[in-house]
Amino acid sequence: MKKLTKIERQQQLQSILEDNPFLTDEALSQTFNVSIQTIRLDRLEKNIPELRERIKDVAYQNRDEVKALPIDEVIGEIIELQLDKVAISILDIQDEHVFHRNKIARGHFLFAQANSLCVAVMDDELALTARSEVKFVRPVTLGDRVITKATLVEKKNNRAVIEVVSTVKQRLVFKGKFEMYYVSEGENNG
């Protein structure tokens, strides 16, 4: 890739972040073959917020309100929620998520992110996990950003089937199929 002028780089930076606001400054510096500091300066000049702010902006634009559990009980940060359709969350793997000996994420955190996202996507007052089939595909390590997507496949007779995939840098790390029991508002649960 030929060396871009500052103006060309900033225009491409803006365009790339419009398409994928979840890219880190580090990933962008590799894309443009410049320092992280250069990317930060470019963002400042173009009034492009840092990653955490971009995530929050996207989250508030693309989110219904969670019904089946308090939002602070969802593991990870919900960035998209369309009730009874799809939900996406991000979990940044930190020290408290990993085994200290090898820095590999503990599986229960990946499961909890997927499971809580399945509850969150339900457009019901009560949603509980009835059954799950999960597969851990590859290890997740300290510093990884896990993006998890839960998609509602079927919903009838107080049972919902939700498929979940988790990726790190677009590589599959976890997948599962969850069967959720739900009770909608006004249903007789006795």
Q: What is the pTM of this model?
A: 0.68
Q: At what angle do helices 25-32 and 6-19 cross, to 10 degrees?
A: 130
How far apart are the C-alpha atoms of 114 and 171, rounded to whole Å?
A: 16
Confidence of residue 74 (pLDDT cuts 50, 70, 90): confident
Provide the pLDDT for residue 190: 46
User: Per-domain residue ranges for the chain?
Assistant: 6-57, 63-183
What CATH number was assigned to the domain covering residues 6-57?
1.10.10.10
Topology given in CATH for the domain delimited by 63-183 = Thiol Ester Dehydrase; Chain A (3.10.129)
For residue 82, is pLDDT > 60? yes
Say what the alpha-carbon torsion angle 38, 39, 44, 48 is, to the nearest 10 degrees. 170
Q: Are 167 and 146 contacting, i.e. CB atoms less than 8 angstroms apart?
A: yes
**What's the residue count for the chain?**
190
Report the pLDDT averaged over residues 166-181: 96
**pLDDT digits 0-9 by tens, 91-145:** 999 999 999 999 999 999 999 999 999 999 998 888 899 999 999 999 999 999 9
Provide the pLDDT for residue 189: 46
Helix (H) or strand (E) holding 150: strand 145-156
Helices (H), the chain: 6-19, 25-32, 36-45, 51-61, 107-121
Confidence of residue 62 (pLDDT cuts 50, 70, 90): low
